Every structure is written in structure tokens, then in C-alpha cells.
Amino acid sequence: MNLEYKNVWVFLERRREEIIESSLEVLGKARELADKYGDKVAGVLMGAGNLDKLAETAITYGADIVYTIQDDVLQDYSTIPYSEALSRMIIRYKPNIILYPATRNGRDLAGRVSAKLNLGLSANTVWLDIVGDGVLLAGVPGFGGGIMAVTKCLTKPQMATVRPGVFPKPQPNPTRTGRIERIDVGKLPEPQVKTIERVFYTVEDISKAEAIVIAGMGIRENIEAVKKLAEKLNWAFGATRPLSDEGLVPRDIFVGATGKTVRPKIALIVGASGAAHFISGVAGAEKIISINIDPEAPIHSYSDYSIVGDAYKIIPKLLEKLEAEAK
Amino acid sequence: MMHIIVCMKVTPKSEQVRLDPNTKTIIREGVENEINPADKNALEAALQLKDKHGCKVTVLGMGPPVWEPYMKLAVSMGADDAILVSDKAFAGADTLATSRTLATAIKKIGEYHLILCGEESSDAGTGHVPPSIAEFLNIPQITFVNHIEIIDGKIRARRVLEGAYEVLECTPPVLLSIEYGCNTPRFPDFRRKRWVDREFKLKVWSIRDLELNEEEVGLKGSRSIVEELREMGLGERARQKITGTEDEIAAQILNIIRPYIKK
Ligand SMILES: Cc1cc2nc3c(=O)[nH]c(=O)nc-3n(C[C@H](O)[C@H](O)[C@H](O)COP(=O)(O)OP(=O)(O)OC[C@H]3O[C@@H](n4cnc5c(N)ncnc54)[C@H](O)[C@@H]3O)c2cc1C
Ligand SMILES: Nc1ncnc2c1ncn2[C@@H]1O[C@H](COP(=O)(O)O)[C@@H](O)[C@H]1O
């Protein structure tokens, strides 16, 4: 084994006082990879306050070591101080692999570190494996997800961003032990970008839903009916990206390559054409029923049950029947 | 006057792309190209700033000569200048080699205030090129932006995250990556198009123009390689058709979904 580079690192992205779900998913995957070639998992956690509590959480999710870096400029994510701090850590400790959640911040950071240190980086990976004594193979979806490229980094550390919602979040084990190391990386540069406003909001996380109704542009004028249907069924409600781009539905409920990955038991898709960038987000559904007026729409071939018909007429009928049954 | 550089890529339409089942390579024949969708939004954002503040807009692409008509199309839409960085040595570049080449071209362009990229390309979909360019230029970045304003010479941008947004401000030069779908790209202007067809000369720069080494660009300059391509099989489904009157269809849907209805 090339001992110069060791350990699998995970960038533990924080959202206020919590480690985000997708970082925990990545931690689970990192554990699996490290176990496969006999290595350790280390989390990297940055922030302004005391990070011990979060570090302990990371240990219960699979980390052996958690490096914490505490500095006022690391209060909230900001490219320049975060990328500088992480790069200094990488140079000092030489990890074999660094995984980042492919969130917006994760990609913002990984792309910057890649150029800073001249390192290979695989993007938005949906599949990861180890061969030999620690060589990372990474599955990168292309063309919206229809094709996957298996990539390999030629430099160490090998880096990849990992698509949220693809790997399961591990079960925490409260009895796991690990060590927390507080690291001083020296004076960090200022962000150069000033925050005027930062607003957090919570929306229902559709990625865990067991059943979902998804609206597309084909039912743009009556999204309310689809929402009502979801409510009546007690299913999650999702949409295609253009509905969100037009501001007709919240941003965090669109499904697809750049949105949520869902893997429900059943998905009812109403008025969506079936573009690759959308389909890759629902491909993990056990059953798909779709309604589209156009017999040529690609969505039909991605469905277990497909209906060529007018959603504006079918959805109200469905609601009527549900209401009748409820009585 | 502010100078805005828009990094623009040309991509095949995703829905048309297939793998050759024998050679496991991408079938390029018969596949239509387009300006990368998010880059069209980036260009539109630049043109809106130009309309409002009178900026100069240059589009920059690194790709093969078949991109030329698309670079010109961007000029017909309203860009002032277009540069295609094109050389056989650039082929096979990963995000690192691509960013290095684009950053070098940007340095050669000289003075700039804003660099706009798309949030990600529709083929590779990495979103890693914009932050890498910013690092090579040693300038700040604001990624995933859906709204830009220029206030007293400063750039104010709204950055959209998962379950959050930020309004950030920065003194130029700065690189922004623009969200796909955040505006409606304009059509090419007919009169401008005639001018482009007759008089506009696209600049084409080779590796020598950029004074780069072959070791720094293309496949040789890459730090990640593709080992193999696999079809993801998104579409292996039963494809059972449900027909009838709307009432009958609704009844059949209800029968299928009934076991999944949660009380
Ligand atoms: C980089 C990039 C990332 C992207 N990421 C995503 C993503 O994450 N998620 C996503 O969804 N998209 C994404 N897209 C966009 C994607 O390519 C498609 O444009 C989008 O999915 C189309 O949405 P749609 O099916 O709702 O709309 P359309 O393609 O406009 O389809 C509407 C459909 O409704 C049908 N219809 C019309 N009237 C009726 C009726 N009365 N009854 C029934 N059906 C009707 C039509 O036949 C048509 O098929 C991305 C694109 C790019 C370039
Ligand atoms: N070859 C290229 N030429 C010009 N711009 C590019 C190129 N590759 C990537 N970009 C820019 O970087 C953005 C993100 O691309 P990517 O990182 O490949 O997803 C694109 O939307 C473009 O703005």
C-alpha cells in the first residue's frame, strides 16, 4: 500500500448547528470503502464555535477521526476561507481519498480545491468502488443520467463529489468510539464576498417519500389539483424543474439530475415529458404510472403503467372518486 | 464600462445521446447540438446587464471548430465579441485542464470585471469548471446565482442553496455561475444576424496563441480519466397501457394505487 497517502476523508458540511444529511450519507459510503481496503475514515468539520458535539455525531455515523477547525471566518460556508483551510489540511495530512457531498456548497468547494492543488476530481458520483490498495473508481452520470462514466483520478488524494440521496444514511451507533483532533491551520484569508442576507427555510424532504405525485409542465394551469391529490392520498408532492424555475412550486421539491433523487414504492407522474435530466431522479422508483397527452412522449417508455390522456380531465375524475370512497 | 466574459459550451441534446452497445462509445452521428442550456441563461444575464448598464459582452468557448456557428449565434443574440479556443491538443480535457485553458484565455483577453458561467453543463454536469476557473484567476466566486445587480460598481448576487438562499456582494472582478432556467434567453436579432453572417469575424485561438504546454491541456493535462462508459438503463419498465374513457382510466389508476394510499 502507498502509505504516503492514507485515510478516506469526508467534508462534513454544516447547516447552522447540524451536519447535513448528505454528508452523513457520504460518511456511510466512506466507511464501506475504507473497510474494503483496510483504512480509516476521517471527517473534516469547520466552524466558528465549539464543534465537539457535531464531531461526536460524526463518529457515531462512522468516522474514526474528526478534524475540527475553529475560526470566526468559518462561521458560515464561504469559498475562500473554506478552500484555503481544507487545502492546508490536505497538504499536511495527505489523505488517500476526499469525498464531498455534491451539494451546491460541496461542489463550490471541491472545484476550487481541485484547481488550488492540481488534483483530479470526479463529479456528482452515483457509484463508488475501491480496487487494489485504495484506488477509487467513481461513477459519474452524464447527459442527465442516461450514461455513466467510470472515472479514475490520476493524482492523490483522489477526490469526488457524491450525489445526495443516492447512498443510504447509515444507522448511527452511539457506542462507536473515535478521536477528535482540533487543528490550527494558521491565519485564514477573508472571504472577499460580503454576506448581505442569508435565509434558511425548511421544506418537506421528498427524497424519503414512499409514494409521490409529481407534476410537470403539462398540468401547469392546475397544479392545485395535483397538490390536492397528493394531500388526499397522503403522498409527497414533487414537480419537474421548469415549474420550479417559473416560481410555481418551491425549489426544493423538484426531482431530477439537479434536484431531488427519490426512490418511492410508487410515483404518479402527471404531464411530464420524461427528459433524461428528470428521469434520472425517479429511476429508482419501484413503480411508475404516468399521464401524458402525447403518445410520443418519452415518459411512456419509462413507465410501468402509462396513460395517453388529458391530465386536466383525469386528475379531477380521480379526485372525485377518492372523495366518493372517503364517504 | 464593465467587461463581461461569458464562458459558453456547446453540448449535444441529452435525450438524443446513446451508447454504441458494442464499442461502448457515444454515438455522435445524427445528434443535434445546442448552446449548453445554462450557458444560454448566463448569456441572457450578461445581455440584460448590457441593456441596463452598457457593458461589453464577450463569449468564450473551448471546443472543436463545429462550435463556430454557436459562437456566432451568441453574437447574433447580442454579444459584442466571440472567441473560440480550439486546438487538437485540447481534446479529452477534464474539468481541471478545461478550467486552466479557459483561465489562460481569459488572462489573454486582459481586462474583465465579471465572468459568467452556466451552473453546469448538460453533458458532463459537473459544475466544477466555474470554481476552478476562479481559482486559476485568483478571484472570488459566487456559484448558483439566479439574480444579479450592479449597485455602485459592486456586484450583488442572489445565490440559491438547498433550503436556503444568500444575497452576497463583491467588488469586481468576480466569477458567477448562473442557474439554469433563471431567465428567458432572447432569440437572435434578425438584423444582427445578417451583420454577423456578412462581417463578423470569430477569433479562433490555438494552443500557441495561449502559450500553453501540451502537458498542461487536453488529455495530457487531465488529472482524471474515463475508464469506461455504461448505459444506465433508466427505462426498463413494464410499459402497460391503460386506456378507456377518462372515468375508466381514473378508476383503473385508483385500483393500482389503492394499496399505497395512507390513511
Ligand atoms: C443542466 C440541466 C439540468 C436539468 N435538471 C433537471 C432536473 O433536475 N429536473 C427536471 O425535471 N428537469 C431538469 N432539466 C430540464 C429537463 O431537461 C426538461 O426540460 C424538463 O424536465 C421538462 O419538464 P416537463 O416534462 O415538466 O416539461 P415539458 O418538457 O414541457 O413537458 C410537458 C409535457 O406535458 C405534456 N402535456 C401537455 N398537455 C398535457 C395534458 N393536458 N395532459 C397531460 N399531459 C400534457 C406534453 O405532452 C409534454 O410531454 C435540466 C436541464 C438541464 C439542461
Ligand atoms: N469547454 C468549455 N468552454 C467554455 N465554457 C465551458 C467549457 N466547459 C465548461 N464551461 C463553463 O463551465 C460551466 C460548468 O461546466 P461543467 O463544470 O462542465 O458542468 C458551463 O456552464 C460553462 O459556462
A164 and A298 part of one domain: no
Q: What is the pLDDT of residue B263?
A: 72
- Of B114, B108, B119, nearest to B36 by C-alpha is B119
Length of chain A: 327
A126 C-beta neighbours (distance < 10 Å), count: 19
Q: Please report the DSSP string for B169-217 in residue order.
A: EEPSSEEEEE-TTSS-PPPPPHHHHHHHHHT---EEE-HHHHT--GGGS
Query: Residue B162 and residue A104: Cβ atoms within 8 Å?
Result: yes
What's the CATH code of the domain at B65? 3.40.50.620
Would A156 be classed as within a structural domain? yes
**How does pLDDT run across A245-295, given as a tens digit for each residue?**
999 999 899 999 999 999 999 999 999 999 999 999 999 999 999 999 999
- Which numbered ligand comes closest to the C-alpha of B37? 1
Query: Residue A289 and residue B257: Cβ atoms within 8 Å?
Result: yes
A2 — pLDDT class (breaks 50, 70, 90)? low
- Of A237, A244, A162, A242, nearest to A205 by C-alpha is A237
| Whole-angstrom distance, CA of residue B212 vs CA of residue B189 | 36
CA dihedral A31, B230, A141, B126 (to 10 degrees): 100
Q: What is the pLDDT of residue A186?
A: 98
Q: What is the pLDDT of residue A227?
A: 97
Mean pLDDT (whole number) for B31-37: 96
Cβ contacts of A279 within 8 Å, gap of 6 or more: A144, A145, A146, A256, A298, A299, A302, B234, B235
Nearest CA to ligand 1 atom 29: A273
Say if CB B122 and CB B39 are below 8 A apart. Answer: no
Would A200 be classed as within a structural domain? no
Residues 211-250, chain A: which have Cβ within 8 Å of B?
211, 233-235, 241-242, 245
Identify which of B125, B166, B227 has the shortest CB distance to residue A152. Answer: B227
Domain that holds residue B47: 3-216
Domain that holds residue A264: 206-326
Q: What is the pLDDT of residue B235?
A: 66
Mean pLDDT (whole number) for B27-54: 96
| Whole-angstrom distance, CA of residue B249 vs CA of residue B260 | 18
A145 — pLDDT class (breaks 50, 70, 90)? confident
**How does pLDDT run across A206-252, given as a tens digit for each residue?**
999 999 999 999 999 999 999 999 999 999 999 999 999 999 999 89
Query: Residue A112 and residue B17: Cβ atoms within 8 Å?
Result: no
Candidate of B9, B94, B177 to mutate for ligand 2, largest count of ligand atoms within 8 Å of Cβ: B9
| Whole-angstrom distance, CA of residue A286 vs CA of residue B230 | 22
Would A195 be classed as within a structural domain? no
| Whole-angstrom distance, CA of residue A233 vs CA of residue A265 | 14
Half-sphere exposure (Cβ direction) of A65: Cα atoms closer than 13 Å: 16
Say if CB A198 and CB A76 are below 8 A apart. Answer: yes
Phi, psi of B92 (to 5 degrees): 80, 15
A21 and A167 part of one domain: yes
Would A3 be classed as within a structural domain? no
When divided into structural domains, chain B yields a total of 1
A157 and A234 part of one domain: no
Report the share of chain A in percent with pLDDT over 90. 93
B231 — pLDDT class (breaks 50, 70, 90)? confident
Q: What is the pLDDT of residue B24?
A: 80
Rg over alpha carbons for chain A, rounded to the nearest Å, is 22
Report the share of chain A in percent with pLDDT over 70. 99
Would B259 be classed as within a structural domain? no
- Of B180, B202, B204, nearest to B75 by C-alpha is B202
Q: What is the pLDDT of residue B236?
A: 76
When divided into structural domains, chain A yields a total of 2
A120 and A230 part of one domain: no
Would A189 be classed as within a structural domain? no
According to the 3-state scheme, what is the secondary structure of B63-131?
A: CCHHHHHHHHHHHHHCCCEEEEECCHHHCCCCHHHHHHHHHHHHHHHCCCCEEEEECCCCCCCCCCHHH
Cell of B11: 453540448
Identify which of B17, B143, B260 has the shortest CB distance to residue A108. Answer: B143
Half-sphere exposure (Cβ direction) of A128: Cα atoms closer than 13 Å: 33
Please say which residue of A182, A214, A238 terminates a domain: A182
Would A118 be classed as within a structural domain? yes
Identify which of A122, A242, A314 has the shortest CB distance to residue B181. Answer: A242
Cell of A132: 487494489
Query: Residue B232 and residue A306: Cβ atoms within 8 Å?
Result: no
Question: In terms of DSSP bridges, do strands A8-11 and A287-292 run parallel, antiparallel, or are they unpaired?
Answer: unpaired
What's the CATH code of the domain at A21? 3.40.50.620
Q: Which one of B100, B120, B126 makes the best mutation probe of the A interface by having the most chain A beta carbons within 10 Å? A: B126
Please say which residue of A182, A197, A216 terminates a domain: A182
Would A288 be classed as within a structural domain? yes
What's the CATH code of the domain at A285? 3.40.50.1220
Say if CB B48 and CB B77 are below 8 A apart. Answer: no
The model carries a pTM of 0.95
Whole-complex ipTM? 0.95
Please say which residue of A148, A182, A216 terminates a domain: A182
3-state secondary structure of B153: coil
Higher-confidence residue of B149 and B18: namely B149
A14 and A150 part of one domain: yes
Would B114 be classed as within a structural domain? yes
Would B254 be classed as within a structural domain? no
Q: What is the pLDDT of residue B56?
A: 98
**How does pLDDT run across A81-140, given as a tens digit for each residue?**
999 999 999 999 999 999 999 999 999 999 999 999 999 999 999 999 999 989 999 999
Tell me, using a 6 A CB cutoff, whether residue B180 lines ligand 1. yes
Would A198 be classed as within a structural domain? no
| Whole-angstrom distance, CA of residue A34 vs CA of residue A38 | 6
Mean pLDDT (whole number) for B193-214: 97
Q: What is the pLDDT of residue A325?
A: 87
Would B174 be classed as within a structural domain? yes
| Whole-angstrom distance, CA of residue B27 vs CA of residue B94 | 20
Would B225 be classed as within a structural domain? no
Would B257 be classed as within a structural domain? no
- Which numbered ligand comes closest to the C-alpha of B117? 2
A122: part of which helix (H) or strand (E)? strand A121-125
Q: Is the peptide bond before B173 cis (omega within 30 degrees of 0)?
A: yes
Q: Is the peptide bond before B37 cis (omega within 30 degrees of 0)?
A: no
Q: What is the pLDDT of residue A203?
A: 81
